[in-house]
Amino acid sequence: GPSLNSLDTFSDEEQMLRESVQRFATDIVGPKVREMDEKEQMDPTVVKGLFEQGLMGIETSAEHGGAESSFTSAIIAIEELAKVDPSVSVMCDVHNTLVNTIFRKYATKEQQDKWLPQLSENKLGSFCLSESASGSDAFALQTRAKKDGDHWIINGSKMWITNSYEAEIFLIFANIDPSKGYKGITCFVATKDMGIQIAKKEQKLGIRASSTCTLNFDDLKVPAANVIGGEGLGYKLAIEILNEGRIGIAAQMLGLAQGAFNAAVPYTYSRSQFGQPVGTFQGMAFQIAQAAIDIETARLLTYNAARRKEEGKSFTKEAAMAKYWSSVIAQRVSGQAIEWTGGVGFTRETGIEKFWRDSKIGAIYEGTSNIQLQTIAKFIQKEYS
């Protein structure tokens, strides 16, 4: 079979996880992919399966019901899921790299004891930062929280929130003191039953099985004990988590590119025109070779950033590079995959066109490509001036 994974830096445990996620993705997710895309709905058996497989608390301690594995393991799971369905991949990604990580890194022991077991067991999480008027300019958010005795009252609205249709646990960023600018932003945990309203579920170009909703908070009453990471520290917590999260999106786009490649390339050797397999014409063979290089570069950038983060080294610039580049090559390779398979690839039957539709989001969420470039440019300026 294809051996495009050139990296041999994974531990036995990581390799075993990769194989078990591959099996889950192929057997459980695979048969549902097309239907979920067409219905724009995640299948509940897939969500349940992610929890049962132990994929929703990969880095969470065993004490809190998790698998206690490495950050790289979380990245491997995202990559493998994306080879089959980038929507399922991002569901797992947001839950692990954004939501669980905030609790693991910033919550008190008491908060961890309360929330992490639920997030490992069966409750899906959402990360609510963006608003209609603040996407890239995330710290200009308008959602407000006011103290009222032993509660906070949250008012405002969030837009573009992944997982929010199925989620029960929400991390909400709200400003408690706008006079302090972004230093008023605070992170709160709230549950759906406290009164979070889903105002709109988006219909999208790609990752259509992944829910993306507008949420309204109308005097949402949250206990004082639900502040995570300290008052006014929400902005720092959000961006530090996003720095890591971007490695997850890099892995999603890497898996997507590999999935499209795997779906298209064998066809080019079985389809003949002019008496020859189309994949053996030099014009095709060289494109395929270049796509293999594209995928390889994304893989090296992604896992290098993951290991640096795991080893406690600086990784923000490397993560931005990985996310930027994986998004570029995911679009390119999945687009080429359609061309390599001709009319067949343009139909919905092979699933190749879906990879291309799904690839577009990589350049938008968790910081657009321009935001990644801005981050990289700031580092270069610091290093060279």
Catalytic residue ranges:
366
Q: Could you tell me which stretch among 21-29, 62-70, 126-134, 151-159 binds ligand CAA (CB under 6 A)?
A: 126-134
Amino acid at 143: T
| Residue 247: both structure tokens together | 């490695």
Minimum separation from the CB atom of position 345 to ligand CAA (A): 27
Q: Counting contacts by CB under 6 A, is residue 166 touching ligand FAD? A: no
- Binding residue for ligand CAA, selected from 36, 169, 301, 371, defined by CB under 6 A: 371
Q: 339: which DSSP letter?
A: H
Rounded CA gap, 128 and 199, in Å?
Answer: 14
Q: Counting contacts by CB under 6 A, is residue 94 touching ligand FAD? A: yes
- Site size toward ligand FAD (CB under 6 A) is 21
CA distance between the termini of the chain? 49
Query: 261: how many CB neighbours lie within 10 A of its CB?
Result: 25
- Which among 373, 369, 365 is positioned nearest to 87, based on CA atoms? 365
> Can you tell me which residue has the tokens 């445990």?
13
Rounded CA gap, 344 and 27, in Å?
Answer: 24
> Can you tell me which residue has the tokens 């999945």?
334
316 binds, among ligand CAA, ligand FAD, none (CB under 5 to 8 A by kind): ligand CAA
Nearer to ligand FAD, 128 or 321 (CB): 128
- HSE, side-chain direction, 13 A CA sphere, residue 328: 17
70 binds, among ligand FAD, ligand CAA, none (CB under 5 to 8 A by kind): none
x/- mask, ligand CAA, residues 145-164, rule CB under 6 A, reads -----------------x--
Rounded CA gap, 154 and 108, in Å?
Answer: 22
Which SS3 state, helix, strand or coil, does residue 116 take?
helix
The interface with ligand FAD within residues 99-138 (CB under 6 A) comprises 127-130, 135-136
- Site size toward ligand CAA (CB under 6 A) is 22
> Can you tell me which residue has the tokens 């679009």?
331
The interface with ligand CAA within residues 300-329 (CB under 6 A) comprises 316
- Binding residue for ligand FAD, selected from 160, 235, 315, 325, defined by CB under 6 A: 160
Nearer to ligand CAA, 185 or 337 (CB): 185
Minimum separation from the CB atom of position 164 to ligand FAD (A): 7
Amino acid at 203: Q
Rounded CA gap, 150 and 55, in Å?
Answer: 35
Rg (CA), the chain: 21
The interface with ligand FAD within residues 319-378 (CB under 6 A) comprises 361, 364-368, 370, 374
**Residue 311 φ/ψ region, left for φ over 0, alpha for ψ in the -120 to 50 degree band, beta for the rest:** alpha
Minimum separation from the CB atom of position 136 to ligand FAD (A): 3
Q: Counting contacts by CB under 6 A, is residue 212 touching ligand FAD? A: yes
* Interface contacts to ligand FAD, rule CB under 6 A: 94, 127-130, 135-136, 160-162, 204, 207, 212, 361, 364-368, 370, 374
* Interface contacts to ligand CAA, rule CB under 6 A: 90, 94, 127, 129-130, 136, 138-139, 162, 182, 235-236, 239-240, 242-243, 316, 365-367, 371, 375
